[in-house]
């Protein structure tokens, strides 16, 4: 029976694989969380913790989509550019669904729907690109 790598080695590999995408996604999530938390926020998201948390979480999910399904591993500069571009798409999708849902249902339901649809678009586009490629 082949010996599996230790938990420490697996954790280190998971944290360092595509580290530029992960670091950029976390940075974008922190910026979005901070912008939404401001009193005069430029983003039209409720100051309710759920909405800002789910927006930030959907930005961090980009790293998982890239790591698990994106068929190409880019060099550091291209990986950062991919993450920023995908982050803009993520914010636009999240805010669009959130605003549409807010006019129809409550804040909590709109936040959850925006998160689920945004993550679905992220993983769906990565899977579709992988199949086309």
How buried is 65 (Cβ within 10 angstroms: 0-12 exposed, 13-18 middle, 19+ buried)? buried
DSSP H helices in 69-106: 76-104
What's the whole-number mean pLDDT along residues 43-58? 67
Supply 65's token pair: 């989509």
pLDDT of 1 higher than 60 = no
pLDDT-based confidence at residue 32 (cuts at 50, 70, 90)? confident
pTM over 0.85: no
How far is 44 from 102, CA to CA, in rounded Å?
Answer: 11
pLDDT at residue 39, as a whole number:
63
pLDDT of residue 33: 77
**What is the tens place of the pLDDT at every residue in 99-121?**
888 888 877 788 888 888 988 88
Average pLDDT over the chain, rounded to an integer: 77
Is residue 41 very low, low, confident or very high in pLDDT (cuts 50, 70, 90)? low
Q: Are 127 and 67 in contact (CB under 8 A)?
A: no
């Amino acid at each position: 029976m082949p010996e599996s790598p230790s938990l420490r080695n697996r954790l280190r590999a998971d944290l360092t694989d595509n580290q530029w995408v992960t670091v950029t996604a976390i940075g974008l999530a922190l910026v979005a969380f901070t912008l939404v938390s401001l009193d005069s926020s430029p983003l039209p998201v409720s100051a309710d913790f759920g909405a800002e948390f789910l927006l930030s979480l959907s930005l961090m999910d980009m790293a998982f989509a890239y790591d698990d399904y994106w068929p190409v591993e880019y060099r550091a500069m291209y990986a950062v550019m991919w993450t920023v571009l995908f982050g803009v798409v993520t914010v636009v999708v999240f805010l669009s669904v959130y605003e549409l849902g807010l006019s129809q249902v409550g804040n909590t339901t709109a936040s959850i729907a925006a998160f689920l649809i945004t993550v679905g678009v992220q993983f769906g586009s990565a899977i579709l690109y992988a199949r086309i490629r």
